[in-house]
Structure 1
């Protein structure tokens, strides 16, 4: 096996995924599996001053050999990528994984055709949850509230709830909450905790509203220039990385709630906050279904077009039992 050194960009340095999963793939797993033939330098996009939207462009141009990123960051360029992480579609991590695996061939083809990069893996961040500064009792209690979102599909959800969707970077959320620019926000529990949202928000909704699916991709020329053994090894280790990320999901989500509310297990990231957990109610379920059908899936179908929507229905939609209709 030839010696190869890679320059890699990761996701958020403030969260758990980068130090616990993304970086070790390139600095521990691949060097060990290759007997030292594969080495890498990896930096989090936040340490580089990047917002995330730039990752695919940096891979296209070869500035980085490989990179991790959230699908939501590239969905605005083509709605086909939205389909792997639509708000409210999945109700469990097991269902999420089935959806991702069913739809992954579609986004892999789109990565190559649209961006000219090789998709190596799709993996989950902890589920995305909803928090608010002021008290709320359920999904029907969010009308008129300004909700921080980071994707079009979450914006559809917020507007379906009667709220106002506001797109703000993670690092700007706390001052925006303090100034009243927003009332609520969506992110993963650990990301919220490490970004200190708990200093401002006091209520957290129990049921996740989105999955938070990310990708690992490589510059296509760099990939094609590797020998077959190196390609096979990288893909095998990427597959193991995906399994570990799914296996760690339940613990990460439990830690998010523990750190934000002080309930459940011990928070490993510091002193727990004392946010109030807003339990999902039976009356929230029909609201969720109506939001999914009339706002999330309908608007996605409108953006995606007939052929794109048909592919989604035949793959992702089929495994979770829902259908997108314009």
Structure 2
């Protein structure tokens, strides 16, 4: 018996030594990041956060982070690969995945978020609706929403007003924006961000829409001549985690993770706004220009009529077009949008 007691005591000590270490075993997650081609938000905010994940979150989590354009996965397939369990966290490209889940696009209808302050209010108002839908349909939980910033017009032909794009081919990235370009008289051409520089260079399109900082990073001013700083959409993106990964964490760990992502997205909102004005300056060769390369685009200030045309797009085009599509797959889609985002924009609920 004494020998057995000694063995049991030794096992008890060994178990006591193992348990704390086991409790702190590193959790490993796989994450999809934004494309490298999108520039400074990916480079200076997102990637450092994921590469220093344990320090940023205070959790024993190590993340294998890969920008999506290094993975051989299309940015329109993010929700599908998450649902299939291939990744744990995704830097979700909202408009690009709206074909798989139209509810997403309610975050960023054309004309709904002409500035950062309004964009924040819209994102906050609609966050819970999107989160619930992603959990239901894709087993994915939304952790935060952030903007690349106002998406503006770049053209390789002279323009003096928005109506000048009539008859021109314009690169777009979602159906909502495409319908608006049609309204103005342009021909929308869906092209991925990575392929747009070449498409402008070869004349596949005459104009293209993106944020000024992303355009600067990707060299669009090399193949365009005019820039119109009129925001069509805020280019909202999000961070989401698979419910399997989320449920593997304890409640206190979930709270820490949520707080860390809220901090990251708050930081990106602020950074995005500073980048926007600086990039507008860089693209037209003005100072201060601290974040990009100087070019010599002609800046075309939008007129009051241009601004009103985009603002009115919500009720005239983007909301009705989106509602028809979204309500087919999600019967309460537009109703929930009108109840949550409608008041933010001063639109009466239907």
**Range of TM-score over shorter length:** over 0.9
Instruction: Give the count of matched residue pairs.
Output: 323
With 45-54 and 107-116 compared, the bigger mean Cα shift is at: 45-54
Q: Are 2:154 and 2:209, in contact at CA under 8 Å, matched by a contact in 1?
A: yes
Q: Are 1:254 and 1:264, in contact at CA under 8 Å, matched by a contact in 2?
A: no
Q: Which residue of 1 aligns with 2:50?
A: 26
| In structure 2, C-alpha distance between the alignment counterparts of 1:32 and 1:182, rounded to whole Å | 42
SS in 2 for 1:46: helix
1:162 matched to 2:185 = yes
| In structure 2, C-alpha distance between the alignment counterparts of 1:324 and 1:44, rounded to whole Å | 39
Query: How far does residue 38 in structure 1 lie from its aligned partner after superposition?
Result: 2.2
1:276 matched to 2:298 = yes
TM-score (normalizing by structure 2):
0.87
| In structure 1, C-alpha distance between the alignment counterparts of 2:270 and 2:214, rounded to whole Å | 19
With 227-236 and 256-265 compared, the bigger mean Cα shift is at: 256-265
Larger Rg: 2
| In structure 1, C-alpha distance between the alignment counterparts of 2:323 and 2:299, rounded to whole Å | 34
Query: How far does residue 82 in structure 1 lie from its aligned partner after superposition?
Result: 0.9
Match of 2:264 among 214, 237, 241: 241
| In structure 2, C-alpha distance between the alignment counterparts of 1:198 and 1:149, rounded to whole Å | 17
- Report matched runs for 1:1-326 at 5 Å: 2=24, 3-14=26-37, 15-28=39-52, 30-34=54-58, 37-270=60-293, 272-305=294-327, 307-322=332-347
| In structure 2, C-alpha distance between the alignment counterparts of 1:56 and 1:255, rounded to whole Å | 33
Query: How far does residue 29 in structure 1 lie from its aligned partner after superposition?
Result: 5.0
Query: How far does residue 67 in structure 1 lie from its aligned partner after superposition?
Result: 1.0
Query: How far does residue 322 in structure 1 lie from its aligned partner after superposition?
Result: 3.0
With 214-223 and 98-107 compared, the bigger mean Cα shift is at: 214-223
Change (3 A) 1:146 1:219: same
Q: Are 1:126 and 1:212, in contact at CA under 8 Å, matched by a contact in 2?
A: yes
TM-score (normalizing by structure 1):
0.93
SS in 1 for 2:70: coil
- 5+ residue gaps, structure 2, are 1-22
Change (3 A) 1:190 1:32: closer
Give the alignment's Cα RMSD to 1 decimal. 1.8
The superposition leaves residues 193-247 of structure 1 with CA deviations (integer Å, 9 ceiling, x where unpaired) of 1211111111011221110111111111111111222211111100101110111
| In structure 2, C-alpha distance between the alignment counterparts of 1:159 and 1:66, rounded to whole Å | 36
Query: How far does residue 72 in structure 1 lie from its aligned partner after superposition?
Result: 0.7
Q: Are 2:165 and 2:186, in contact at CA under 8 Å, matched by a contact in 1?
A: yes
| In structure 2, C-alpha distance between the alignment counterparts of 1:55 and 1:308, rounded to whole Å | 21
Q: Are 1:140 and 1:287, in contact at CA under 8 Å, matched by a contact in 2?
A: no
- 5+ residue gaps, structure 1, are none
